[in-house]
Structure 1
């Protein structure tokens, strides 16, 4: 993985707010609410959205509102602030309007820019279009005597052109003819991407675009940037939101767009290691989380049952019965079970491996054991996992995420200590250093 180009290694949440609401006595009321979010309700990146979330007739007022609200609340906001400007690869007029708003917002005499970390540019096209946006950033910085490259640029991938452009970033960044090193986030915008691709589904719903998410994650990893998935607009479907985030994390995409403070909470907590470990049982490709009860891991479903017999056990799976002795049963259950480690488990394993490495050992076996209770019958199982340097480095990813969150979000310290316990938090901040 290419080294990150910015202090933040991870972004969990990308939260947009309209900059001006038409017909309200205070058109900036949504901005004011968002600016006062704290703790797990506050995003890692807050995006005052002067593009799609704001009516075209309100965007001039929206730019003014950004300045007013950020001046008032920006110093206390716990995340980064990246206003989203208007831009379009096919419209010079739109690009110029976005440039003018950037100039207004970045004016040091107005006081907002000291709290703003960068700007988000939507609807980019091929790499030449990214360079146009970068050049506008450079002009803004020079116009206002800001350090060149100090404003981060994040782009929203909403077209096939932009998707292909990610493949050229490695060779373009660092050239003396541009300041593309300022790039920060690559954010998927599946709605406009679907329109650009002329894609259709029978229900009219968006395609899931797993290829786009993979390509964005790969592009970000190759260029030292951070990948963020687009909005999940079924805001009441918490389970679906969690499934989407789990799929993304398996691709290396830990960040996701959040549309409500409730989604922010879910997206802030979901990628963190769990508070307690859990055992999973795989039944016909579906993983079921077992319930911890009186020292045993209990399966209480209808698809699997277990009975002890004089000679061993009978295992019933969806109408099929197998007669097994204890060793055969353990071998069968070994292949059907997996363990999701808690934060404490991960820290314990890393500390144990660090101690072994210090003693000159390159690999050690870690044991996980449990008593399974299926249909009232219990059996003990254990699983061994070999830890070497590669395993250790892979385990560092969730720990690095936690350390990055803890360092950059002091407003979440109390909630993190309540979630894990102060001792586990302290140990997690020490491993890997």
Structure 2
């Protein structure tokens, strides 16, 4: 059984790897996870310089308990392999995970895994660097189950609805809103990604919400993804960090009640009982499984 690092991913903050100012602010933010971007947010002429800025930032700034991640360019470009090599060799143990973009097949995961195996041996890293993968192409969603199980390094999948909408030909209006549709146009995609992640024992994460001046819209999308089983959502602007934390942080009262029920069941089980009643609620082994997600998140947060 693969034992992966347990990380908080309630708010994953996206930061251009070319902006030293934004990187410093990100290090001091309340985000659980920060990924310094080498892909869409960085112009081709700035990519080589951005790698150096990222290494410097990881090696010199205080990131607290945050997960430190880079988002690399996709493997159809000439930049991806150098993104991995230069940042891993430069940041070493100060890099936690690498986010792969436009993942279409398990081969993309295996390429990164093999390259990291060689790098870690060559430079004598004392830890294993994790992988995260964006599902943002039609082929990626078609292969999501195999992708999710492709490597023990893989820690999470992220649904990237922006590029996915382009890949699908979904109608996106000039204001960034999806055209008329009776329901959540992303329901199937999110649901399938979450199922693949849970079957593989990795984290499902929801992607970006473009309008950073719309807390109600962001919160609605985040709440939908939480209900389906996601553990967090991207923040493309610092304003969205608190919105994500609000949605994906369990209610303290619910956590306390879940712990009370779990403790009562554990005591009853020791006495040979399979089901008990606590304050009018029937509790059995299935109930304890249902509390699991809330209690795991609470434990990671330190609630």
Q: Same fold (TM over 0.5)?
A: yes
Aligned twin of 1:396: 292
Aligned residue for 2:205, secondary structure, equals: strand
Could you tell which deviates more after superposition, 233-242 or 248-257? 233-242
Could you tell which deviates more after superposition, 206-215 or 195-204? 195-204
Contact 1:245 1:254 in 2 (8 A): no
The ranges of structure 1 where at least 4 consecutive aligned residues each deviate by more than 4 angstroms after the TM superposition are 201-204
Aligned twin of 1:247: 224
Contact 1:125 1:162 in 2 (8 A): yes
How many angstroms does 1:102 deviate by? 1.9
Contact 2:15 2:36 in 1 (8 A): yes
Aligned twin of 1:272: 249
* Structure ranking higher in helix proportion: 2
Aligned twin of 2:57: 69
Aligned residue for 1:270, secondary structure, equals: helix
Pick one of 158, 161, 184 that aligns with 1:187: 158
Which of the two has higher C-alpha Rg?
1
TM-score by length of 2: 0.88
How do residues 78-89 of structure 1 correspond to structure 2 at under 5 angstroms? 78-88=65-75
Aligned twin of 1:358: 270
Aligned residue for 2:70, secondary structure, equals: coil
Contact 2:8 2:33 in 1 (8 A): no
Aligned twin of 1:117: 96
Aligned twin of 1:53: 41
TM-score by length of 1: 0.63
Aligned residue for 2:143, secondary structure, equals: helix
1:250 & 1:228 partners in 2: Cα distance? 12
2:66 & 2:178 partners in 1: Cα distance? 30
2:199 & 2:241 partners in 1: Cα distance? 27
How many angstroms does 1:201 deviate by? 4.8
**Shift in CA distance, 389/133, structure 1 to aligned 2, threshold 3 Å:** same
How do residues 182-261 of structure 1 correspond to structure 2 at under 5 angstroms? 182-201=153-172, 205-206=177-178, 208-261=185-238
Aligned twin of 2:13: 15
Contact 2:160 2:206 in 1 (8 A): yes
1:143 & 1:399 partners in 2: Cα distance? 39
**Shift in CA distance, 141/4, structure 1 to aligned 2, threshold 3 Å:** closer
Q: CA RMSD in A?
A: 2.4
Greater relative contact order (Cα < 8 A, sep 6+): 2
Contact 2:109 2:147 in 1 (8 A): no
Q: Deviations over 1:339-390 (max 9, x none)?
A: xxx33332333333333333333222234xxxxxxxxxxxxxxxx4311111
Contact 1:169 1:223 in 2 (8 A): no
Aligned twin of 2:80: 98
Contact 2:275 2:284 in 1 (8 A): yes
The reply on whether 1:32 has 2:4 as its aligned counterpart is: no
Aligned residue for 2:134, secondary structure, equals: strand
How many angstroms does 1:71 deviate by? 1.0
1:32 & 1:104 partners in 2: Cα distance? 21
**Shift in CA distance, 9/84, structure 1 to aligned 2, threshold 3 Å:** closer
Structure 2 unaligned segments of length 5 or more: list them: 180-184
2:173 & 2:235 partners in 1: Cα distance? 26
2:24 & 2:287 partners in 1: Cα distance? 45
How many angstroms does 1:202 deviate by? 6.2
How many angstroms does 1:49 deviate by? 0.7
**Shift in CA distance, 128/85, structure 1 to aligned 2, threshold 3 Å:** same
How many angstroms does 1:228 deviate by? 0.7
How many angstroms does 1:9 deviate by? 5.8
1:345 & 1:129 partners in 2: Cα distance? 43
Aligned residue for 1:82, secondary structure, equals: strand
Aligned twin of 1:324: none
Q: Deviations over 1:294-350 (max 9, x none)?
A: xxxxxxxxxxxxxxxxxxxxxxxxxxxxxxxxxxxxxxxxxxxxxxxx333323333
Contact 2:93 2:125 in 1 (8 A): no
Contact 1:9 1:226 in 2 (8 A): no
2:177 & 2:247 partners in 1: Cα distance? 25
Aligned residue for 1:83, secondary structure, equals: strand
2:178 & 2:113 partners in 1: Cα distance? 31
